[in-house]
Amino acid sequence: MRFPRLLFSICFISVFLACSVEPEPINFGNDHCIYCKMTISDPKYGAELVTDKGRVYKFDAVECMLPYLKENPETKFSYIMAVAYDEPNKLKNVEELHFVQNENFKSPMGKNLASFANQPKEFESLNWTQLKDNFY
Amino acid sequence: MIRYFLSAFFFAILFSASLSAKPIIANSNNSIKESILQAIAYDTIIIKPGVYYENLISIEKPLTIIGEVGAIVDSQEGDEIFIVQSDGVIIQNLTLKNIGVSYIKDRAAIRLNRVRDVKILNNTLINTFFGIYLQKSNNCIVDGNKVIGGAQDESTAGNAIHIWQGKRIQVTNNEVSFHRDGIYFEFVDESYIANNLSKNNMRYGLHFMFSNYDQYENNRFQDNGSGVAVMFSKHIEMRDNQFLDNWGGASYGLLLKEISDGSIENNNFSRNTVGIYAEGANRLSIKSNLFHNNGKAMDIKGNSLDNQIIKNDFVGNTFEVLTNSKSNLNHFEGNYWSQYSGYDLNKDGIGDVPHRPVNLFAIVTDKIPAASMLLHSFLVNSLDAAERLFPQFIPEQLIDQKPKIKPNHYDQD
């Protein structure tokens, strides 16, 4: 009797996982930006949206995610995330990030926009709300 | 007599001056850095064979630096090697190795910073993060170099030849591989790229961003993530290039995004997932190209306007043209389509019935990729035939009124 119970629990877990609304790590070098079609390849930049139905959209830069959000105002998102320049490869919620626009940061779409987990000393930064309202 | 004497005197001075301009030699006794400090403007430095463990060599006066066979500079996974900060520098015949990967700084084997008239010739760069990086520089030549990256882990790769803000740059006869992009142009105008081989790069063989009035011809782009991407640029001329073997989930031979007024002529697109993908591409002349054995030859989105698609050959592609709109604002004429099933009764070389290159099933598989398993089934073929007679889903105006009976390239041979 032990085996069918195990099978049942595996099925249950996999069904549960399939329905969950979770962010997905960006596979740098393979994933494509939904907005500009470029391969996402610079681990210092990148962004991701997860809809409340669990659909994942990946972006090569925050400057691609912002217009996508503007063009899809009625879609609800459970996660709005971006990669931090000072902690590459990982996604963080945009509310935790500090956004800096400066020529030192050559982001993929030429807007020189980077997001930081820790407020950098030399630069003034915007928070997510300020960025969203002012950038485009 | 005195005049003769004086002129002889001046000649002697000139002669001795030219003698003093004999080359400075860098060998195992002194470093390249020291030799550069000794040199005065317009000197030549010859680097003898041997391995030099040096980096951050700043060049601040016009010098010619030539390596003899076997002259190697090794950065040992450290910082950049040459930083050129003077006009008129030439770096030639050197082997540069092992640039360390950094998240903070875009390290390059050779960096040009705000200079002009610099030549980088016939160097071999091995295991580089960025290879040759031109920053705010004009009138420079990058010719005959071989740049082989160390990209094992794909996301830690920089670009082989990276140009950021420049004018009149010439990139010719280079071989670039195992980087993020083979050649990257960001804000670069009036420049010329020819006879390069770009292969095995993870993102693009060649990439234009915000660059205008550039030309590229006679290059080969093979086995890259995608062949070439031209984005947010105007007046780019693309001639006689080869776009080969760009296979993968979303791979393109040529990706066009928000570009206008360019030309794409005499190129060869073979064995790509998508030959040309165009989104927001306007007023282009797409002429005399060969599309051979691609998954989709052209995917041209509804927001592309006024393009002239003339005298191309579409041979053996699974799908010839795909679009996402019911209207068509581009002009197709005089192309050869191997899927054309019409006839030519008056033998003028032009098919008597127009050809509709968009296949119903191409639209279906674009929305539902798994449906491709039904390709070439009887049901799908009959649906397709019916759709071509009475179009309901495919754009009605996307028609070649004068399809060629024989390939244009066949005629040329």
Task: Quote the minimal CA–CA distance from A68 to chain B in Å.
Answer: 16
User: Does B231 sit within 8 Å of A36, measured CB to CB?
Assistant: yes
Output helix, strand, coil percentages for chain A, rounded to the nearest 5: 30, 25, 45
Quick check: B225 and B247 in contact, CB under 8 A? no
Quick check: B62 and B40 in contact, CB under 8 A? no
A38 in B contact zone (CB under 8 Å)? yes
Quick check: B123 and B91 in contact, CB under 8 A? yes
pLDDT at B327: 87
Strand partners, B71: B50
Q: CA–CA separation, B109 vs B149, rounded Å?
A: 11
Whether B334 has a pLDDT exceeding 70, the answer reads yes
Q: CA–CA separation, B163 vs B47, rounded Å?
A: 27
Q: CA–CA separation, B334 vs B176, rounded Å?
A: 37
Q: Number of helices (H) and strands (E), helices first, in chain A? A: 3, 6
Task: Quote the minimal CA–CA distance from B246 to chain A in Å.
Answer: 13
Which residues in chain B have Cβ-Cβ distances shorter than 8 Å to A110? 186-187, 209-210, 232
pLDDT at B297: 96
The stretches of B247-351 forming alpha helices (DSSP H) are none
User: Does B187 sit within 8 Å of A110, measured CB to CB?
Assistant: yes
A43 in B contact zone (CB under 8 Å)? yes
Q: CA–CA separation, B332 vs B32, rounded Å?
A: 59
> What is the mean pLDDT of the segment spanning A8-35?
76
pLDDT interval class at B221 (50, 70, 90): very high
> What is the mean pLDDT of the segment spanning B127-146?
96
pLDDT at B5: 56
Whether B18 has a pLDDT exceeding 90, the answer reads no
> What is the mean pLDDT of the segment spanning B282-302?
95
Whether B1 has a pLDDT exceeding 60, the answer reads no
Query: The tokens of A107 are what?
Result: 């982001």
Query: The tokens of B405 are what?
Result: 């009976």
Which of these, A136, A43, A122, A125, lies nearest to A89 by C-alpha position? A43
Q: Which residue among B187, B202, B257 places its CB closest to the CB of A29?
A: B202
Which of these, B192, B243, B251, lies nearest to B216 by C-alpha position? B192
Which residues in chain A have Cβ-Cβ distances shorter than 8 Å to B203? 29, 38-39, 41
Task: Quote the minimal CA–CA distance from B90 to chain A in Å.
Answer: 28
Q: Which residue among A36, A41, A88 places its CB closest to the CB of B103?
A: A88
- Render pLDDT for B184-206 as a digit per residue (tens, 0 to 9): 999 999 999 999 999 999 899 99
Which residues in chain A have Cβ-Cβ distances shorter than 8 Å to B202? 29, 39, 41
Quick check: B42 and B63 in contact, CB under 8 A? yes
User: Does B103 sit within 8 Å of A44, measured CB to CB?
Assistant: yes
Across B11-24, b (16+ Cβ under 10 Å) vs e yields: eeeeeeeeeeeeeb
- The total of other beta-carbon atoms located within 10 Å of residue B165's CB is 16
Which residues in chain B have Cβ-Cβ distances shorter than 8 Å to A37? 250, 255, 257, 277, 279
Q: CA–CA separation, B258 vs B266, rounded Å?
A: 22
Task: Quote the minimal CA–CA distance from B395 to chain A in Å.
Answer: 24
DSSP code for B403: -
Q: Number of helices (H) and strands (E), helices first, in chain B? A: 5, 39
- Positive or negative CA dihedral for B312, B317, B323, B326? positive
Kindly tell me the burial class for residue A34, based on how many C-beta atoms sit within 10 Å of its own C-beta (0-12, 13-18, 19 or more). middle
Q: Residues of A numbered 85-114 whose beta carbons fall under 8 angstroms of chain B's beta carbons: which are they? A: 88-89, 106, 109-110
Q: Of all residues in chain B, what percent carry a pLDDT higher than 90?
A: 74
Give the length of chain B. 413
pLDDT at B17: 47
Contacts of A98 (CB under 8 A, 6+ apart): A115, A116, A117, A118, A119, A120, A125, A126, A127
Which residues in chain A have Cβ-Cβ distances shorter than 8 Å to B187? 110
Whether B66 has a pLDDT exceeding 60, the answer reads yes
pLDDT at A28: 87
Which DSSP string do the residues of B41-62 spell out, in sequence order? Answer: TT-EEEEPSEEE----EEE-S-
Q: What are phi and psi of B14, to 5 degrees?
A: -60, -45
Give the length of chain A. 136
Contacts of B316 (CB under 8 A, 6+ apart): B292, B293, B338
pLDDT interval class at A110 (50, 70, 90): confident
pLDDT interval class at B413 (50, 70, 90): very low
Which residues in chain A have Cβ-Cβ distances shorter than 8 Å to B324? none
Q: Of all residues in chain B, what percent carry a pLDDT higher than 70?
A: 93
**Residues of B within an 8 Å Cβ radius of A:** 103, 106, 154-157, 164, 180, 186-187, 202-204, 209-210, 225-226, 229, 231-232, 249-250, 255, 257, 277, 279
CA B118 to chain centre: 21
Query: The tokens of B180 are what?
Result: 């993020």
Mutate to test the interface with B, among A38, A111, A118 (most CBs of B within 10 A): A38
Average pLDDT value over all residues in chain B: 90
Q: What are phi and psi of B351, to 5 degrees?
A: -60, 145
Which residues in chain B have Cβ-Cβ distances shorter than 8 Å to A42? 155, 180
Q: CA–CA separation, B241 vs B218, rounded Å?
A: 5
For A32, nearest residue in chain B (alpha carbons): B250
Contacts of B321 (CB under 8 A, 6+ apart): B296, B297, B298, B299, B300, B332, B357, B358, B362, B398
Whether B369 has a pLDDT exceeding 60, the answer reads yes
Which of these, B270, B307, B268, B315, lies nearest to B289 by C-alpha position? B268
Strand partners, B254: B228, B276
A117 in B contact zone (CB under 8 Å)? no
Q: CA–CA separation, B112 vs B98, rounded Å?
A: 19
User: Does A41 sit within 8 Å of B155, measured CB to CB?
Assistant: yes
